[in-house]
Amino acid sequence: MKKFLSMLLILALAISMSSMAFAAEDGKLTIWCWDVNFNVAAMEVAKKMYQEEHPDVEIEVVNSTGSGDIETSVVQAATAGDLSTLADIILYQDNSYQKLVANYPEVFTDLTDLYDFTDFAEGKSSFSIVDGHHYGIPFDAGTAVAAYRTDVLEQAGYTIDDMNDITWDRAIEIGKDVKEKTGLPLFSAQAGSSDWTVIILKSCGASMFNEDGSVNLKDNDQLKAALDVYLTLVREGVLVEVNSWDEYIGTMSNESVVGTFNGCWILASVMSLTDQAGKWGMANIPSLVGVDGATNYSSNGGSSWAITQGTDIDLAVDFMQAYRNVDFYNEILPTTSAIASYNPAKEGSNYTDVNEFMGTPVFADIIEYGEHVPPVVSSPYYYDARDALATAQTNILNGADIQAELENAQNTVEFAMDF
């Protein structure tokens, strides 16, 4: 059956591409991305570097209002059979890749034999690999970090070294002690989100899906262990839930929590608190106890670049060599806080230098963490599973049965997949 379905997919793709309108090769590159201070700013640096050696190449970097608008444009172009409306290079969220490539394979250039993926963090690259083929060039790291107010830890008798390479059991123990001595919870998180649970799950190389693509929620022991950690954190008062993202950021700015736990991009918010400079330290994340594959490393978020079909593919691939350039990552770091997932970037001076805010070379440390993040099975239905798990988690916190809720969550995702 699988072989038959694959043949049908190939046939459908061949038919669709035979009537597909492609952009002409014109020696010009158009790039779509979002966030003028982050992705756009990084691409403008890549543009400047490339045009220094290729002054005749015209490059336009277009700022979109968000990733959702870009994905909508891709769907519309593919549905209309007219890829000429698309940019040559497009940024996608890592967790969107599987669904987009599965549904619109005609849009994406297979980069497996066109680009050198050596030295990119394996856990990062895995998001844009479909059926063993690379469809995305990794960009910003979503490597998970834990950051803490060192002055508050000191009040309770701890240092940042006490938070490195620890288990969740130890983190909860320390969190309870710190709260008793200082009155502050260790962490905060947005209520109704399953991001924490998924980050912890991924830290042991586990997923909400099996290798064959089927849903893996109701009988997933690693997920149950991750969920148990989150529930314990909340019930013990080590983690306080808040109602919105702004409130979550506010817990750090108003100094009502000791630390934060998230993708490394959260450090941009932490480091914006200039009055707290010198009071923060970073550690890797706690690991699960007694769980196969448990590590102190995971990820949350991040994005990668795709090259569309029917455009100046060779030119686009050549331009994207910037993302294998240590000097490029070194230059964009101070102004964008975009942390590389290209491992050699940690040798750049802006990575190895001591960060003034935290007093350690945190960016080099983050790349080092990223090298240890285990790859996980992804799925076109990642967001369906994440949202279903979030509902289950909320219900369990309100007293519902864990197994029943995970079964409901699995049924929800399986219905979406069948639909």
What integer pLDDT is reported at residue 28 of this predicted model? 93
**110/208 same-domain check:** no
Q: Report if residue 135 sits inside a domain.
A: yes
- Which pair of structure tokens corresponds to residue 290? 């007694």
Q: Report if residue 259 sits inside a domain.
A: yes
Paired with 149 in beta bridges are 280
In whole angstroms, give the CA distance from residue 322 to residue 417.
Answer: 38
The tally of domains found in the chain comes to 2
Full domain range(s) for residue 53: 2-142+302-363
**329/408 same-domain check:** no
Dihedral sign computed on CA atoms, order 308, 68, 375, 117: positive
* Domain boundary residue, one of 363, 392, 409: 363
What integer pLDDT is reported at residue 387 of this predicted model? 97
Q: Report if residue 59 sits inside a domain.
A: yes
**183/293 same-domain check:** yes
What integer pLDDT is reported at residue 1 of this predicted model? 36
Q: How confident is the model at residue 21 (pLDDT cuts 50, 70, 90)?
A: low
417 CB-near residues (< 8 Å, 6+ apart): 215, 381, 384
Percent of residues in the chain assigned helix, strand, coil, to nearest 5: 50, 15, 35
Q: What is the pLDDT of residues 142-193, one digit of tens each?
A: 999 999 999 999 999 999 999 999 999 999 999 999 999 999 999 999 999 9
**136/161 same-domain check:** no
**45/103 same-domain check:** yes
**Residues of the chain with pLDDT > 90: what percent?**
89
**69/19 same-domain check:** yes
What integer pLDDT is reported at residue 20 of this predicted model? 61
**342/389 same-domain check:** no
What integer pLDDT is reported at residue 43 of this predicted model? 97
Q: Quick one: which of 293, 295, 272, 296 has its CA closest to 284? A: 296
**84/154 same-domain check:** no
* Domain boundary residue, one of 332, 363, 394: 363
Q: Report if residue 320 sits inside a domain.
A: yes
Structure-token match 């190895």, residue found = 352
Q: Report if residue 341 sits inside a domain.
A: yes
**81/149 same-domain check:** no
Q: Report if residue 395 sits inside a domain.
A: yes
Dihedral sign computed on CA atoms, order 75, 87, 69, 190: positive
**262/294 same-domain check:** yes
pLDDT (mean) for 2-21: 44
**137/149 same-domain check:** no
Q: Report if residue 264 sits inside a domain.
A: yes
Does 111 have pLDDT greater than 90?
A: yes
Q: Quick one: which of 152, 148, 120, 149 has its CA closest to 136? A: 120
**154/249 same-domain check:** yes
Q: Report if residue 82 sits inside a domain.
A: yes
What single-letter DSSP state applies at residue 238?
S
Number of H helices, E strands in the chain: 17, 12
Q: What is the CATH number of the domain that holds 57?
A: 3.40.190.10
In whole angstroms, give the CA distance from residue 334 to residue 68.
Answer: 27
pLDDT (mean) for 262-279: 94
Lowest mean pLDDT among 273-277, 323-327, 329-333, 336-340: 336-340
Q: What is the pLDDT of residues 211-267, one digit of tens each?
A: 999 999 999 999 999 999 999 999 999 999 999 999 999 999 999 999 999 999 999
